[in-house]
Chains A and B, each alone.
Chain A
């Protein structure tokens, strides 16, 4: 089991009712397995199938491996500019 810090923004923060949470995920963990566990939370079922995710402030992929203590941000569709 590892513990990661999950950051939620904009619409995703509204869906899950939080901007930040610590989440325990079974090892070996990936972005995909973390998203699966977020989907079991209240509001989590409304997350899209493949949201953008950043691991430690770098864009990551679904199969990116996660380590204990990582900061994982789930990013709604970007709308800068």
Chain B
């Protein structure tokens, strides 16, 4: 089963994979599409990915988190076209106590952003579009007109 989904994400479906009677601390991170970026009004986002590597890298990240903390983690990430407010990513970490759940959840979302091959093209209200580039000074690469 892929970590990447082409259909809307559901937090209960993700939580269901990790919640259990012995895990009393459950931390959920939900990332949703924001209506603004780099001073521009955003209308829509298009996520694309290198699917086979994204799944492998995500599995490595979960393995690292679960070996570092006594927690169990599940996550899903959308690909395709998303509107403002749509859920792009869900991470749920469950542990016996809250500290491990918070730490593992934070680790997994940060490493997803840093290592999993996923890209984001923003479509702006003014009709232009650009590639999100966290390494660029403006945070986005706009097309050359």
Contacts and interface: CB of A to CB of B under 8 A. Distances in A.
Interface of A: 7, 9-11, 54, 57-59, 73, 75-81
Nearest to B88: A81
Contact of B114 (A10, A73, A76, A78): A78
Contacts of B31: 81
B48 A10 contact: yes
- State the 4 A-B residue pairs at the shortest beta-carbon distance, nearest first: A80-B118, A10-B119, A79-B120, A79-B132
Contacts of A11: 119, 131, 133, 141
Contacts of B100: none
A11 to B, nearest CB: 4
A44 B51 CA distance: 24
Interface in B98-145: 109, 112-121, 131-136, 141
Contacts of A59: 57, 115
